[in-house]
Amino acid sequence: MPRPTGNVRLKAARVAAGFNSQQDLADALTRHAKDMGIRGLSIGVRQVRRWESDNPPWPQPDCQRVLSHLLGQSMEALGFTPPWGSGGSQQTGHSRRTLDASDAAGQRRVTLPRRLGAASQPSTAGVDFQAVTRSHRRLYCSVTPTQLHPAVVAHATLGCVLLPETMDSTRRTVAAALAETYLLAGRIEFFDLREPSRANGTLLLALQAAGEADDSLLGSAILAHMAFVPGWVADRDGALERMTAARTYARRAPASAEFLAWLDAVEAECETRSGNTRTALNLIGHAEDLLAAGNDHSSQDWMDWFSPARLAAFKGNTQMIAGHLLQARESLLHALASMTPAEDKQRSVIYGDLAAVEAASGNPEQACGYAEQALDQLAITWYATGMDRVREVRRALTSHQHERCVRDLDDRLYDWATTLSALGR
């Protein structure tokens, strides 16, 4: 596998910010300079190309200000080494790249050097580090997010220590596992802890690590997860920019039908939240066709968050929001029946959507029944997204709040354990 060339830090930050070409970034920097009151600064694509080269020159002060302000990172985090050196431990004749990210314990500094001296770790280091990454991935299905997240972040910190001490295939293995680890941390922050800004920063670290590994499919998966951040707040343009980048990366490597179908499902979710349910249903239909046809490429082992049952759940949610209640009920029941025990965490979301279908259909007792089943599942495997669904159903039942079934649901929803879990996780 060839080593990635160029300043992958700046490339990753550019793509994550929605600038899919060097020309796009050059134009945005020139406009942003004017907005910042820096007159006469014009940045061309040739300059951006130099900055994204293997040995990027240290930018002029005004360029530094605009780059850092537009992309939201320090110059070192963007892959530049100051003429006076980057500080920290020395690596004679080799440059270092520093990234900043925050974790539950506060601020930490991690270093992902692009060039290496001699390797000090054995060739087994990559496999050993990867094994823990895989274990964390499996534990996500059953371990409380607030308990798993610190372990995942600590593992990522270890990966940043190992990376400069490995070379060649071992380095690529560590980098890919580090990208997976940051991806898992970002998923927990977004879906379980409801911290989208923090998740976006973590996913950027994941994208940069995937660049170190030169793993296009992993990069595509990370970019698609990054699309959820604007997509969740109905920022359609922001979500589509990241989905365009994700699909571009997916074309650079053999992608399984399952992976391509998942990209459709992610974009459908973003379209649904922007109110474009017809577009979303068309995307889901295309995903179903992809899964039915299949292809010769096997799925990546790290892609454990998608299946035909999950696609049916996506479909049911979109149908419900579109007002197609009969079809939504059918899709959601099919998803529920098709899920494996390893997907139990997702059941709270499906129960919540079924409750929403019944609430919209004027069936408060059935709605409360499904909502209580969601709470039963949440007591086993907490999932903030599932609790969000239950609370949305309760709001939809306001006109029935004096009925016994709704009061019983309130007793469950606001008991000590559920309230403290919802507020404290």
pLDDT tens by residue, 209-224: 998 898 999 999 999 9
Mean pLDDT, the chain, integer: 87
Among the listed residues 123, 187, 122, the one whose alpha carbon sits nearest the alpha carbon of residue 153: 187
Q: CA–CA separation, 69 vs 13, rounded Å?
A: 12
Assign 115 a pLDDT band (cuts: 50, 70, 90): very low
* 371 found inside a domain: yes
Q: How far is CA 48 from CA 51, 70, 221, 245, 393, in A?
A: 5, 14, 26, 18, 49
Assign 89 a pLDDT band (cuts: 50, 70, 90): very low
Question: Who has greater pLDDT, 425 or 327?
Answer: 327
> Whole domain around residue 114: which residue ranges?
97-214
32 and 136 inside one domain: no
**Rounded average pLDDT over 308-328:** 96
* 3-class secondary-structure state, position 122: coil
Among the listed residues 165, 33, 160, 157, the one whose alpha carbon sits nearest the alpha carbon of residue 104: 157
143 and 110 inside one domain: yes
**Weakest-pLDDT range from 53-62, 86-95, 273-282:** 86-95
pLDDT given at position 6: 85
Assign 40 a pLDDT band (cuts: 50, 70, 90): confident
pLDDT given at position 108: 39
pLDDT given at position 58: 86
- Residues 6 or more apart whose CB falls under 8 angstroms from that of 338 comprise 307, 308, 309, 312
Q: 206 exposed, middle or buried (CB, 10 Å; 0-12, 13-18, 19+)? A: buried
* 285 found inside a domain: no
Residue 364 has pLDDT above 90, yes or no: yes
Residue 94 has pLDDT above 80, yes or no: no
Q: CA–CA separation, 309 vs 272, rounded Å?
A: 18
* 307 found inside a domain: no
**Rounded average pLDDT over 96-107:** 37
Please name every residue paired with 109 in a beta bridge, in sequence order, or none if there are none: 100
131 and 44 inside one domain: no
Percent of the chain predicted with pLDDT > 70: 88
| Boundary (domain end) residue, out of 214, 247, 278 | 214
360 and 413 inside one domain: yes
* 279 found inside a domain: no
pLDDT digits (tens, 9 = 90+) for 160-192: 889 888 988 999 999 999 999 999 999 999 999
185 and 112 inside one domain: yes
pLDDT given at position 18: 86
Residue 109 has pLDDT above 60, yes or no: no
Q: Which of 3-17, 23-37, 129-143, 409-423 has the highest mean pLDDT?
A: 129-143
pLDDT given at position 118: 55
- Kindly give the residue spans of alpha helices, DSSP state H, lying in 140-215: 145-162, 168-187, 196-213
pLDDT digits (tens, 9 = 90+) for 336-361: 999 998 888 899 999 999 999 999 99
- Which helix (H) or strand (E) is 68 found in, with range? helix 61-71
- Residues 6 or more apart whose CB falls under 8 angstroms from that of 390 comprise 348, 352, 355, 371, 374, 375, 378, 413
Question: Who has greater pLDDT, 412 or 109?
Answer: 412
**Structural domains in the chain (count):** 3
| Boundary (domain end) residue, out of 194, 214, 234 | 214
Structure-block tokens of residue 200: 């976006």
Question: Who has greater pLDDT, 92 or 313?
Answer: 313
pLDDT given at position 142: 87
- Residues 6 or more apart whose CB falls under 8 angstroms from that of 308 comprise 291, 338
Is the full-model pTM beyond 0.85? no
Q: CA–CA separation, 56 vs 48, rounded Å?
A: 9
* 272 found inside a domain: no
**Rounded average pLDDT over 302-327:** 96
**Weakest-pLDDT range from 75-89, 102-116, 397-411:** 102-116
| Boundary (domain end) residue, out of 53, 82, 111 | 82
* 3-class secondary-structure state, position 45: helix
Assign 81 a pLDDT band (cuts: 50, 70, 90): confident
**Weakest-pLDDT range from 10-24, 270-284, 343-357:** 10-24
151 and 181 inside one domain: yes
